[in-house]
């Protein structure tokens, strides 16, 4: 007599914030898929969206905000949610065996058996198609950049298997929105946008190295590489370097804008935001304890505020 195999009951994910909206309000049948998309952990969506906001505001410093930019902001928000979800679903598909061996991740939907691989693939495609619909509302340069980013998204989950610097690949992928959104506003990718992209990559190396310190012991046992393991006790010095690089490149991005003399006040406001961006990272370094997973997670999540400080001042500068 054959038995019907039931999926395990959906439970909370270990590293999700307590009382998140998915666990509290989402219908039970949707929770495993929303957890695959990290909807219960919104920090990743913020970290994907913020470079887009930077790109829009930096472009608007040249010629002001337009009504089109409202659509860019709204669509980038939705796009960040679904494309981060698609990327995380892909990441969990490729990492399901690794995740099963790590205490912090073994409760995720795939290693815990809440979702099958086939169902996860379908869910990934659905999210990617929604993202494609948003992308094709932009100009052709932005569309081309969006399509080009797929290679980075596909490679990233495998990076920790072949390099000690997987955070570089995350930075290349997560900050692509700075180029894409700048292009969607300005119709071109110029030196300021490239410098902004570099600042975002350095920022990602900063926050994701902090994040990776949570798993360094499990990663060492299963052979997964990361900058946290590479830097070890020297992590603080490296993080200081990433902070300096991020602030410097961000500042150069603002200074490189071809603004007329009467717009120097706007440049000054933007540079104040860059300093605020750097001061928040400096605050993180003073609070950091690389041997405390709880502190690392809290500081990692605080990078939403780090990025929004810069975004707010850039937006004010564009309005001046």
User: What CATH number should be reported for the domain holding residue 227?
Assistant: 1.10.357.140
- Phi-psi sector, 246: left (phi>0), alpha (psi -120 to 50), beta: alpha
Q: Is residue 149 part of a domain?
A: yes
pLDDT of the residue at 15:
72
CA distance 10 to 211: 25
pLDDT of residue 183: 98
Query: What is the average pLDDT across 7-19?
Result: 66
Torsion sign over Cα 205, 206, 209, 211: negative
What is the band of 175 on the pLDDT scale with cuts at 50, 70, 90?
very high
Position 311 in a domain: yes
What confidence score (pLDDT) does residue 11 get? 65
pLDDT (0 to 100) of residue 181: 98
- Residue 25, domain member (yes or no): no
Q: Which pLDDT does position 2 carry in this prediction?
A: 36
**Structure confidence at residue 6 as a pLDDT band (50, 70, 90):** very low
Q: What is the pLDDT of residue 207?
A: 98
Structure tokens at 29: 């049948």
Look at residue 4 in the predicted model and tell me its pLDDT: 35
Q: At what angle do helices 303-319 and 264-287 cross, to 10 degrees?
A: 170
Q: Is the sign of the CA dihedral 147, 116, 49, 202 positive or negative?
A: negative
pLDDT at residue 173 greater than cutoff 50: yes
What b/e readout covers 200-213, taking b as 16+ CB neighbours within 10 angstroms? Answer: bbbbbbbbbbbbbb
SS3 assignment, position 97: helix
173 contact partners, CB below 8 Å, separation of at least 6: 87, 149, 152, 153, 156
Is 38 inside a domain boundary? yes
Instruction: Note the pLDDT of residue 222.
Output: 85
Q: Is residue 1 part of a domain?
A: no
Pick from 94-108, 124-138, 153-167, 265-279: least confident: 94-108
Quickly state the pLDDT bin for 258 (edges 50, 70, 90): very high
What would the mean pLDDT of 271-293 be, rounded to a whole number?
A: 97
CA-wise closest residue to 82 among 10, 26, 171, 153: 153
Residue-wise pLDDT for 132-160, tens only, equals 999 999 999 999 999 999 999 889 889 98
In percent, how much of the chain has pLDDT > 90?
Answer: 79
Q: Taking the model in full, what pTM does it have?
A: 0.91
pLDDT of 254 strictly over 80 = yes
**Joined tokens for residue 131:** 């993202």
Residue 17 lies in a domain: no
Cβ contact 227:290 at 8 Å: no
pLDDT of residue 9: 45
- Which percentage of the chain shows pLDDT scores above 70? 97
Long-range CB pairs of 93-102 (<8 Å, 24+ gap) are 93/117, 93/120, 93/121, 93/124, 94/157, 94/158, 95/157, 98/222, 98/224, 101/218, 101/221, 101/222, 102/215, 102/218, 102/219, 102/222
Give the best-scoring range by mean pLDDT among 92-106, 147-161, 249-263. Answer: 249-263
CA angle in degrees (0–180, nearest 5) for 297-301-302: 115
Domains of the chain: total = 1
Does residue 59 lie in a domain region? yes
What is the extent of the structural domain holding 130? 30-319
Long-range contacts of 238-244 (CB under 8 A, 24+ apart): 238/209, 239/206, 239/209, 239/210, 239/285, 239/288, 240/285, 242/202, 242/203, 242/205, 242/206, 242/209, 243/202, 243/206, 243/278, 243/281, 243/282, 243/285
Residue 3, pLDDT > 50, answer: no
Six-digit token pair at 234?
């020297």
State the average pLDDT for the chain. 92
Q: Domain for residue 302, yes or no?
A: yes
Give the least confident one: 12-21, 22-31, 50-59, 285-294. Answer: 12-21
**pLDDT in the model for residue 104:** 79
Q: Is 74 exposed, middle or buried (0-12, 13-18, 19+ CB in 10 A)?
A: exposed
What's the rounded Cα separation, in Å, for the pair 209 and 290? Answer: 10
Q: How confident is the model at residue 8 (pLDDT cuts 50, 70, 90)?
A: very low
């Amino acid at each position: 007599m054959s038995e019907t195999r039931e999926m395990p009951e959906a439970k909370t994910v270990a590293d999700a914030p307590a009382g998140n909206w998915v666990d509290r309000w989402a219908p039970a049948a949707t929770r495993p898929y929303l957890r695959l998309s990290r909807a219960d952990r919104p920090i990743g969506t913020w970290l994907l969206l913020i470079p887009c906001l930077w790109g829009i505001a930096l472009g608007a410093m040249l010629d002001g905000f337009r009504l089109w930019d409202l659509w860019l902001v709204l669509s980038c928000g939705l796009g960040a949610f679904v494309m981060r979800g698609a990327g995380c679903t892909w990441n969990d598909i490729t990492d399901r065996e690794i995740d099963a061996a790590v205490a912090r991740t073994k409760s995720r939907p795939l290693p815990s058996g809440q979702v099958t691989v086939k169902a996860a693939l379908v869910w990934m495609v659905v999210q990617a198609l929604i993202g494609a619909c948003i992308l094709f509302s932009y100009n052709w340069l932005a569309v081309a950049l969006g399509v080009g980013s797929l290679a980075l998204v596909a490679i990233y989950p495998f990076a920790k298997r072949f390099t000690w610097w997987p955070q570089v690949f995350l930075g290349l992928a997560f900050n692509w929105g700075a180029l894409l959104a700048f292009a969607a506003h300005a119709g071109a990718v110029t030196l300021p946008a490239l410098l902004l992209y570099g600042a975002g990559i350095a920022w990602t190396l900063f926050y994701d190295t902090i994040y990776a310190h949570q798993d360094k012991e499990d990663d060492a046992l299963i052979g997964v590489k990361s900058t946290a393991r590479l830097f070890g006790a020297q992590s603080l010095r490296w993080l200081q370097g990433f902070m300096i690089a991020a602030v410097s490149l961000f500042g150069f991005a603002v200074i490189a804008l071809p603004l007329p003399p009467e717009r120097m006040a706007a440049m000054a406001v933007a540079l104040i935001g860059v300093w605020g961006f750097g001061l928040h990272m400096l605050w993180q370094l003073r609070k950091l304890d690389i041997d405390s997973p709880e502190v690392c997670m809290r500081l990692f999540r605080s990078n939403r505020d780090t990025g929004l400080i810069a975004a707010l001042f850039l937006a004010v500068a564009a309005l001046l």
